[in-house]
Chains A and B, each alone.
Chain A
């Protein structure tokens, strides 16, 4: 608190020096006090950068006899216990997987998310190939990109546990990959 009778610490006959000091102090304090709320806010904003990745998740999707023998792919929903910020869901859908039976000892699994931009891949109307409705990427049933497909890579194959497959159970390690790049990069 000031009172009018106090003497200035700086000589009044040196206004430039006084002003320089005032300007410096104002700018330093001003910068400091704006950076506190902004800094704290930005730190909170960037919190997702240090949060955990989705991670790999091994799930049982079907039994071998559930899949058609003619090799037609079938879509399965992946449901898992997941925490979304504060909410804990016992059964939260986190993605879906195409399963395709080659024979009783071999099943292939594809993440249904399109490697182009992440839309959900479907099977085309004549049932001959995978087809993405967003940008018309198409993939053959082995997952490879077809013809002039815009996708930079084929569908992402997921690992099927071969030991459990021998017992007739299809367990898949569900992983998500980065869209839009030529390499399979886990996210």
Chain B
């Protein structure tokens, strides 16, 4: 064994290298405050490991990126934990970066001769942020897509080179395959390579100059840190208090208890701490191994614990597949870009110049100030300027972040959009399940052929200017428009169209003449109203007629009662032709009857509705009596002119299927 080691050592020097790496002197002894660099190294290592494994399952293209991430998240064994660790470590890294920076600045570890190391550190900070930004797009979901669109558009306003820069970054004029391949190459290739190279330099320089020995332990020094921790924990508790409604109660309790503990410690230090001038003990020098590594290991372990905690508590979101035609109002950048996001809404940043100011100049100036710190900090006053500047920056960052989240949390439109986005994400999952996989064209195609998803959208655009589709308890339209119950509606409410309930209302004069049906059309004073007035239908009659007529629609939701109530339905059909005032006088029913009113054969069935929406002025329906409803499919007028329709067959079918409830649903067994 010994011989083998010597053989290896003589040829590689690995033992000497390990010794050199481990047995570094730590002047003044190991300290907890030195751990942040190690936690970052650990976090990056975790990102490299999980990243490479994710790479084995990820497929960067516009029709496979979301799909492969969906697979990782939902089907690959342990995939969701793998993705979760990668995602949440990225979040925690930002916090660790800030802690590392704070420690370096307050211990003035950036001063000569360590300026270069500081500059490399700042560059590493920006590379890490760039890696996060590029990673955010890779799932090609709505959130990543729209956030990246904003980020790359901001790159596009850079003076002179902006337009070309944007084109190069997104791989063309439009977002697609090459945006993903480029971002992926950046995220998994160029940026990590740069990270490794710079970390090597960073650690080399760190070892060259040795650790900056923090001031010896003293009461004043200790109090300084405890006051920092007090501000941090009180701030955290305050933030938790602001968002108490959207979190379980322990989210508020833990930082509150932490803050109380820190304050108790400060009081204790004030009462019992030893005198300032007599540092407790001039600590002996420590060794990196095991003194410092021991502390590093404990904190790194805590970092991993925090990551796993979030992975299991919050999970890792995957919003619906990117859809450039479907605005996503819930789109937000990653949380650490939220201050910038909010800042761009402020007044000084309006207009073209304002945008350049807010998105480029202000962040540019702040970054430059960060770079200048080693030069500013040459004098003691300069050092304090740096420390104050850093605290102001961090304070501003925190306040803006809280403001941004608070603004969203109290914005009903945003909350509604988030809810809608979640519903849609669930719908995609359902559709994939029903289809037992994703079609080769990608998951978006499932959404585009889903009546439940497309119906409301098409309805909102094409029908909702006249028709309604029901309202919820608060009077908000159920069709995805922002209409209210009080808004004037000029054509019938179509929720439940063709059902017994709906037809019963059409056969009841109060409903028929109300604004929810024909009240704002010329049919308010038509032959149908005369019929309803004169026939004085009893409730029983309406029930039978509605059951019979409704059975023609063949609705999925009524198949049970349609099969059960055969007698009622047969009677209903008989009544239609029997009375003195018979339906068949005006309408065709089962192919026979008058032609004054719309043909009720197969009334409200899929084909009937498609034909009706296609051309309501057709003689089979309203003919010349049609009141304003346009033809949605190409039609030939009575004069022989071709009237182009507003929609195509497929989209009319999607509307019809949605209105009729013909789409796969989770709780319906096929």
User: Interface on A for B, CB 8 Å cutoff?
Assistant: 1-5, 19, 22-23, 25-26, 29-30, 32-34, 36-38, 40-45, 47, 50, 83, 85-89
B67 interface hit (Cβ, 8 Å) = yes
Q: Which residue of B lies closest to A31 (CB)?
A: B297
User: In the complex, A129→B50 CA distance in Å?
Assistant: 51
**Which residues of chain A are near B280, meaning CB under 8 Å?**
4-5
The residue in chain A whose Cβ has the minimal distance to the Cβ of B268 is: A5
Please name the residue on chain A nearest to B218 by beta carbon. A4
Task: Write the B50-86 contact mask toward A (1 if CB under 8 angstroms, else 0).
Answer: 1011001100000010011011100111110110010
Q: How far is the CA of A32 from the CA of B50 in the complex (A)?
A: 15
Given contacts A37-B46, A85-B68, A87-B437, contact A19 B57 (CB under 8 A): no
Q: Check: B229 CB closer than 8 A to any chain A CB.
A: yes
A2 CA / B298 CA spacing, docked (Å):
12
Q: Contact flags (1/0) for B431-444 with A, using CB distance below 8 Å?
A: 00001111110000
The residues of A that contact B387 with a CB separation of less than 8 Å are none
Please give me the residue from chain A that is nearest to B81 by CB atom: A40
Interface residues on B, range: 35 or more
* 10 A-B pairs with the lowest CB-CB distances in the bound complex, closest first: A4-B217, A88-B437, A41-B53, A2-B32, A22-B294, A22-B290, A86-B71, A43-B78, A37-B49, A29-B297
Most chain-B CB neighbours within 10 Å: which of A36, A37, A43, A45? A37
CA distance A89 to B217 in the complex (A): 68
Q: Which residues of B contact A (CB under 8 A)?
A: 31-33, 42, 45-46, 49-50, 52-53, 56-57, 64, 67-68, 70-72, 75-79, 81-82, 85, 216-219, 221-222, 225-226, 229, 265, 269, 273-274, 280, 289-291, 293-298, 300-301, 304, 308, 435-440
Q: Shortest distance in angstroms between A78's beta carbon and chain B's nearest beta carbon?
A: 19
Q: How far is the CA of A23 from the CA of B288 in the complex (A)?
A: 11
Residues of B within 8 A of A89 (CB): 440
Contacts of A22 in B (CB 8 A): 290-291, 293-294
A5 contact from B76, B273, B440, Cβ within 8 A: B273
Name the distance in Å between A88's Cβ and chain B's nearest Cβ. 3
**Chain B neighbourhood of A1, CB < 8 A:** 32, 225, 229
Known: A25-B294, A88-B436. A3 touches B226 (CB 8 A): yes
Number of A-B contacts (CB under 8 A): 123
Complex partner residue of A44 from B42, B77, B298, CB under 8 angstroms: B77
Asked if B82 and A40 make an inter-chain contact with CB atoms under 8 angstroms apart, the answer reads: yes
Q: Chain A residues near B293: list those with CB within 8 A.
A: 22, 26, 30
Please tell me if the beta carbons of A25 and B297 are within 8 angstroms of each other in the complex: yes
Please measure, in the bound complex, the distance between the C-alpha atom of A83 and the C-alpha atom of B435, giving whole angstroms.
11
User: How far is B280's CA from A26's CA once the two chains are assembled, in angstroms?
Assistant: 27
CB distance from A71 to the nearest CB of B (A): 39
* Contact A5 B290, CB 8 Å, known A33-B42, A33-B304, A44-B82: no
In the complex the two chains form, is A47's CB within 8 Å of B77's CB? Answer: yes
* Cβ–Cβ contact A5 & B46, under 8 A: no
Contact B274 A40 (CB under 8 A): no
Chain B, Cβ-Cβ closest to A4: B217
Q: CB-CB < 8 A to B76: which residues of A?
A: 44, 47
- Partner pick for B304 among A5, A36, A47, CB 8 A cutoff: A36
Are A45 and B290 also in contact (CB < 8 A) when A4-B217, A40-B78 are? no
The answer on a CB contact under 8 Å between B32 and A86 is no
State which of B269, B300, B435 has its C-beta within 8 Å of the C-beta of A33: B300
CB distance from A6 to the nearest CB of B (A): 9
Pairwise interchain contact B50-A5, C-beta atoms closer than 8 A: no
| Nearest CB of B to A7, in Å | 9
**Chain A hits for B50, CB < 8 A:** 37, 40-41
B294 touches A41 (CB 8 A): no
> Which residues from B are CB-within-8-Å of A19?
290-291
